Amino acid sequence: MPRVVVDVLLKPEILDPQGQAIERALPRLGFAGISDVRQGKHFELTVDDDVDDVEGLVRKVADTLLANPVIEDFTVDVQS
Integer Cα distance of 27 and 34 in angstroms = 9
Minimal distance in Å, beta carbon 79 to its own copies? Answer: 13
Minimal distance in Å, beta carbon 54 to its own copies? Answer: 9
Site for its own copies (CB under 8 A): which residue of 39, 63, 71, 78?
39
> Cβ distance 51 to 3 under 8 Å?
no
Query: HSE of 19 in the Cβ direction (CA atoms, 13 Å)?
Result: 15
The residues of the shown chain that bind its own copies, judged by CB under 8 A, are 7-9, 19, 22, 25-26, 29, 31-48, 50-51, 57-58, 60-61, 64-66
